[in-house]
Amino acid sequence: MSHADSRKVVLAALAGNVAIAVCKFAAAYASQSASTLAEAVHSLADTGNQALLLLGSRRAQRPADASHPFGYGPVRYFWAFVVAVVLFTLGGVFAVFDGIQKLRSPHSLDSAVWAFGVLAFSAVLESLSFRTGIGEARPLRGDRTWWQFIHRTKDPELPVVLLEDFGALIGLGFAFAGIALAELFHQPRFDAIGSLAIGVLLIAIAIVLAVEMASLLIGEAASPEDVATITDALAGAPSVRRVIHLRTQHLGPDDVMVAAKLEFDRDLSIPQLAAAIDGAEARLRAACPAARLVFLEPDLYRELPAPDA
């Protein structure tokens, strides 16, 4: 997915969350609902998260320089990891803390109608944002499950937006159930339990995002399919006898570094060897355009001695 496609998804989520956060805070003030307040803070955290994703996407486009010769692609992974931390602290921890406080000191809701109306309005906007994310992610997902896609994709923005929107929809369900039960049984503690459920949900999502983004930030190899494509391209280049050793690493969603040792025909002169290396690199880039940095080293293949019986 290109930067433009990722920005489209993030901007759609940002626009929706700004409107939702304002409405939720107004409803929380009018109703004094703990779960509605938790949802308002959740939307506020999501709004900040989208702003951070846009910041990371923009800063990642800076060209390589002397200080960062491989470029700034990993900046997108860094800010996505920060988003997970923000979601955990600002969204999840606050919702749990507020829910515990309301369990200890429960009070009846002032205007549940406001809360129900805003929750319904929020559900519509969140669904539209979620649909946009699903639409952009579906061509990249292929035949994988959604969990496999989130686990294996190298694009940091899509998993964040998809999980945030999915969590927001589930959280709205928790808030609706908490307020409905509180009104039905005249027991405000159900509203506090709704806030606790939202907090636990946000913390769980934040942990998943943190694990996935940390893996990308540390450096993940290209997908098995891309590795196979790279290997076939190099092995099929003229004068290449075999691929001895291959390492790949994503520096960004569409930026792969490739380092390989190749065995070439042994009767090549130095100029012919240099031309063969250039030809192998050109063949690799044609097969895998994301391979921006390519390092090919000629070497001799040596079979390891068989272990003693």
Domain range summary for the chain, segments of one domain joined by +: 3-218, 224-298
When pLDDT is cut at 50, 70 and 90, the band that residue 309 belongs to is very low
What is the C-alpha separation between 222 and 215, in angstroms, rounded? 13
Enter the pTM of the model: 0.79
pLDDT digits (tens, 9 = 90+) for 36-84: 787 787 778 778 878 888 888 888 888 888 898 888 888 989 988 888 8
Of 176 and 21, more confident: 176
Q: Tell me the CATH number of domain 224-298, given options 3.40.50.620, 3.30.70.1350, 3.30.540.10, 3.30.750.24.
A: 3.30.70.1350
In percent, the amount of the chain with pLDDT more than 90 equals 29
Looking at residue 106, its pLDDT comes to 81
Looking at residue 164, its pLDDT comes to 83
First to last CA, the chain: 52
Q: Tell me the CATH number of domain 3-218, given options 1.20.1510.10, 3.40.50.720, 3.30.450.20, 2.60.200.30.
A: 1.20.1510.10
Asked if the model's pLDDT at residue 121 lies above 70, the reply is yes
Looking at residue 280, its pLDDT comes to 96
* φ and ψ at residue 248, rounded to 5 degrees: -130, 155
What is the C-alpha separation between 6 and 206, in angstroms, rounded? 20
What is the C-alpha separation between 160 and 51, in angstroms, rounded? 12
What is the C-alpha separation between 32 and 108, in angstroms, rounded? 8
Sole residue written with tokens 């390589």: 64
Closest to 159 measured CA to CA, from 120, 214, 199: 214
pLDDT mean over 285-296: 94
What is the C-alpha separation between 295 and 237, in angstroms, rounded? 15
Looking at residue 295, its pLDDT comes to 96
